[in-house]
Amino acid sequence: MRLRRTHFALVAISALAASFIPVVQATAEDTDPGPLYLSLYRNDDKLALQYAGRPDGKPMVFRISGQVYAQVPGGGPAAGTGLRQGAKLFNLEGYNIRKLVRNKDYIYLVSREILFYTDPADNRSILKTWKNPNDGKTYPVVPIANDTVNSVYRVKDGVLYGVPALIGTANQLESPVNGTPPTVLGDGTKVFVSDIPLNYALNDDGRYGIADPFGFATGYTSRASDKFTGTTARYTGLEAFDFWISPADQLKALPMETKVVTETKVDAKTKKKVTTSKTVETGNALIPQGPANYLNSWTRISPMPPFTCIGEAATGIHAIYHARAWTLDGFDSVEPWIKEAVLAYDEQYKEPPLTAPVKEGASADRFIPLWQNQTSWSSFFNKELKGKDDTASDKNLTWAKWCSTKAS
């Protein structure tokens, strides 16, 4: 899951570039997103920013819980072994931890996420291995561990904009986050929708520099900006997000300054002075303290997780992820069994990244990010394949070789 779970995906900049391009970090006095939040005119923009993170700049967690199912063309085998349509493969448990960082009129959503594949019959039992029903072999289970999942917003003339993929180019076009207003249900609940179709190769458009095809189907890009010719293995998928917030929680997420107004009148009957007090709003918005109480629904259709060794091109089989998420204060609010698993895996997932480095010297209207957002496949490559084969010219183990050597 990439719970940017915002409106726009970002183009990744290669790690090599980051090694020699100077970066500018947000300064201590320029990291607080609160003043930009207060400058937003519309409540819908203020609410949308709060599913990205907390306007007070503190960490927030989207605790994620879901399931993964098999999408099998033709339904699968009528008898015997093999994956069948709709088979529940895994439960999925974990979270995305995030915060908002300001740099001038930009707000960076900086986050990382970790999700454990768990037993389909017991969501608290983290799987170490998984038996592939198609080949009968058992493979190590590799969790989703994306250590950078960032997005960018900009506040301009009191409006919240999402900054799209072509960051740092002359064609950096921004779109209002609420260009399409949220859906309002009968009880006043607002639903902010973000549907993201994905189509890219891991080594095109300067994305990840990963040549391994991972068993993906081949095809052409759907984006003219890729300037892509020919066919190659491409990751295609769809991620769909709904962020729900009730009327009561909308009010909590939009606090207003209040004052006590005292009024003294003479009672017409008793002729005595009577003083009354009441609390009224001043019309000035306040910065919310704590996370907004959002509920989230996430659905993804994609190739099977790389550790399953079920290739899209060879089988046509896909995975369908269906999960729910809810906001928490931070790592300390996560259940102990998940915290224990996270600390055993990698302690960096206790906190979001500190900031989002960008290239120095960018204009006020453009900037170039130096981070590289991770996906299930790029993080798998970095952890399991990169530099793991001394016999290869690039020293990288291939996905196919990983599958053959890890199978038992």
- Per DSSP, helices labelled H in 270-321 are 312-315
Q: Note whether 154 and 161 are within 8 A (CB).
A: yes
Three-class secondary structure assignment of 365-396: CCCCECCCCCCHHHHHHHHHHCCCCCCCCCCC
pLDDT at 200: 82
Segment 156-193, tens digit of pLDDT: 999 999 986 544 444 556 889 998 999 999 999 999 99
Segment 213-271, tens digit of pLDDT: 999 998 876 555 555 555 788 899 999 999 999 999 999 999 999 889 898 888 888 88
- Give the integer Cα–Cα distance in Å for 367 and 358: 7
- Give the integer Cα–Cα distance in Å for 301 and 199: 12
**Mean pLDDT, range 134-141, rounded to an integer:** 96
pLDDT at 203: 80
Per mean pLDDT, which range of 45-49, 63-67, 163-167, 370-374 is the poorest?
163-167
Q: Who's near 139: CB < 8 A, 6+ residues apart?
A: 129, 130, 132, 307, 308, 309, 403, 406, 407, 408
pLDDT at 15: 28
Segment 351-402, tens digit of pLDDT: 998 877 766 655 455 556 677 788 999 999 999 999 999 999 989 999 999 9
pLDDT at 19: 28
- Per DSSP, helices labelled H in 8-53 are 15-20, 34-38, 43-52
pLDDT at 172: 56
pLDDT at 384: 97
pLDDT at 360: 61
Residue 359 corresponds to which amino acid?
A: K
pLDDT at 219: 80
pLDDT at 186: 97
According to DSSP, the residues that pair with 91 across neighbouring strands are 67, 118
